[in-house]
Structure 1
């Protein structure tokens, strides 16, 4: 009884989303007793679009702030640079504003300094913002490690007006990340394996993961059209919530499986680094479905959706046009490394099985393209 696995559900303290939400950032922070000075770790487009709004909203809440321009990679060196600037300015809170790597950097820096953190994603390109987890990469962009943090962010603030101005491809990449959530969560729950916080999943987490998948199928294509036209629509609002909140809660509180492990393996191939996290995850999901021997009806549904929103379904579409046997084996070895989430599958997974599944998934995608 004492060794029984407890169910653990984790989530951010508050999630706020909507058009022009940046305008209430100071008010939201004040409402949560978050005080300045604030260090804003920010990507280029966030600085370009939001500098004036930050000045107004944070001044209204009497929160002093300084901006730290993000260097481009969530690496240990970049995290240390952010921490140094935070100490210099005696920051009492760290705000991350930008894409997934910006937010990952802000979360680790805040955690190391024992400071509260606010995440303001400017793209809905991954499910990172809500989690107490950051993905650390080398300076060259190869996956290095998952860093587990003590707590989830204090505030997530998603401005859909900003997201509507972003590249449509980034929104689609977020759908690729979110597409895997339900399948990975389902595998973990069925196998009674531990989630990202070391506990069992709750029914609510699995239900949110399922809602995430259903929302993608229902609203994905229409949300993508909204971003192409740079407009905020109800479909975009629902889709952004799926990419950010539902996927985030689903993966962290239910768990990851083969799709993300294959993604991590793919990052050792330099050619894949020109592609986004969610694009590599989308192909990783096909590999997972092949590994698990999922029925054709499931594969068809995933392939139909991926094609509709422009997600990769072949190796060529993530840069691997010439894939040598040696590189394929290295990818498979990395995907099956000790501690990888592929070992959450309900059977033993060997590198050889992954090699076969990658080739089969690629063939599946190619045949699908010819037929459709």
Structure 2
């Protein structure tokens, strides 16, 4: 039997300058006591606007700074606060780890969750899953939820004032969305939500890519000077919503497997997720023998916004080390196997080195 098509998304997505001043108005139907699980910068940059939105209401707000990683112990600590304070709504304020901690806490305590991203480095805010770690920082599991967040609220002012490297990394993560979903449709592979890929999902994925090409470079310039322009608003939406809902319902292929592979290399520990996904996207296009114009379009885009197109830029200087990453990227269960014809570690190694050679031509 064919896999049933499936489309999931947050119940509500709100974005714009000073959107957090509307926080109460957009979430008041969910409950009257809130636990805000915040990163340090999330608390600093958001709590004043959030508190202002609750002026003249009798809601209870509890702000808690979390300890930097979405670990089992930290989730337990937040669950205890939620129970002790009789919390009705959980809110994640910060980057991916704060958001993942909030989603998990809400899931276990059977509360609705609201997400307030303070950077757009990944597409985590809109998705129905979390990455959970052990208390020593090692990976534990992916936690899949029965539904996506009740609301995602993105304040463009907060994003415009965050370091531009996060916006660029988010564009790298978003760059893989269309090409990975396209690969999955060719092989009838299921999406991250384990459903068939709908026309609507593919339309979001394609719009994500077109938006990056149209607005990416200008958005980067605007963000460097903390300016909110239509181009920046477009890229925020591409990084957070189009990429998040697109990847969730479109599936993954080579780009994210390459990221997983390179995490095995110590020299890539500080390379951002989106940077490796972008480089993995170039490798995927080479494996697919994509038209030369398409590969050039993707590489031109990466070069223009500062995403890596060479191994040196992701931190790798020894070609032999790429064998380790390629082996890890091709283990059973990896999404690279959603590609037509499948891929061996040797084939991926050759594609990665070819991507590097093409990238080096930009610097001659």
Could you tell me the TM-score, scaled by structure 1's length? 0.93
CA shift in 2, pair 1:193/1:282, >3 Å: same
In structure 1, the residue matched to 2:289 is 293
Q: In the TM superposition, what is the alpha-carbon distance from 1:271 to its structure 2 partner?
A: 2.1
In structure 1, the residue matched to 2:121 is 125
- Is residue 169 of structure 2 the alignment partner of residue 161 of structure 1? no
CA shift in 2, pair 1:176/1:321, >3 Å: same
Q: In the TM superposition, what is the alpha-carbon distance from 1:38 to its structure 2 partner?
A: 1.4
Match of 2:327 among 325, 333, 338: 333
Matches of 1:187 and 1:146, distance apart in 2? 23
In structure 2, the residue matched to 1:48 is 44
CA shift in 2, pair 1:271/1:70, >3 Å: farther
Native 8 Å contact 2:336 2:342 kept in 1: no
Query: How do 1:51-200 and structure 2 match up within 5 A?
Result: 51-137=47-133, 145-200=141-196
Query: How do 1:275-294 and structure 2 match up within 5 A?
Result: 275-294=271-290
Native 8 Å contact 1:223 1:233 kept in 2: yes
Q: In the TM superposition, what is the alpha-carbon distance from 1:149 to its structure 2 partner?
A: 1.3
Q: Deviations over 1:249-284 (max 9, x none)?
A: 111111111101111111122221212211111111
Matches of 1:63 and 1:364, distance apart in 2? 57
Q: In the TM superposition, what is the alpha-carbon distance from 1:154 to its structure 2 partner?
A: 0.2
- Secondary structure, counterpart of 1:129 in structure 2: helix
In structure 2, the residue matched to 1:10 is 8
Match of 1:231 among 223, 227, 230: 227
In structure 2, the residue matched to 1:272 is 268
Matches of 1:198 and 1:75, distance apart in 2? 25
Q: In the TM superposition, what is the alpha-carbon distance from 1:61 to its structure 2 partner?
A: 4.3
Matches of 1:267 and 1:159, distance apart in 2? 31
Native 8 Å contact 1:142 1:268 kept in 2: no
Q: Compare 118-127 and 33-42 and name the one that shifted more.
A: 33-42
Matches of 1:55 and 1:99, distance apart in 2? 20
Count of aligned pairs: 364
- Secondary structure, counterpart of 1:147 in structure 2: strand
In structure 2, the residue matched to 1:38 is 34
- RMSD between aligned residues: 1.8
Could you tell me the TM-score, scaled by structure 2's length? 0.95
Q: Which stretches in structure 2 are left out of the alignment for 5+ residues? A: none
In structure 2, the residue matched to 1:352 is 346
- Is residue 363 of structure 2 the alignment partner of residue 363 of structure 1? no
Matches of 1:79 and 1:365, distance apart in 2? 42
Matches of 1:208 and 1:27, distance apart in 2? 28
Match of 1:241 among 237, 241, 247: 237
Native 8 Å contact 1:209 1:250 kept in 2: yes
Matches of 2:57 and 2:7, distance apart in 1? 32
Native 8 Å contact 1:143 1:264 kept in 2: no
Q: Which stretches in structure 1 are left out of the alignment for 5+ residues? A: none
Q: Deviations over 1:72-108 (max 9, x none)?
A: 2233333333323323322211101111222122112
In structure 2, the residue matched to 1:312 is 308
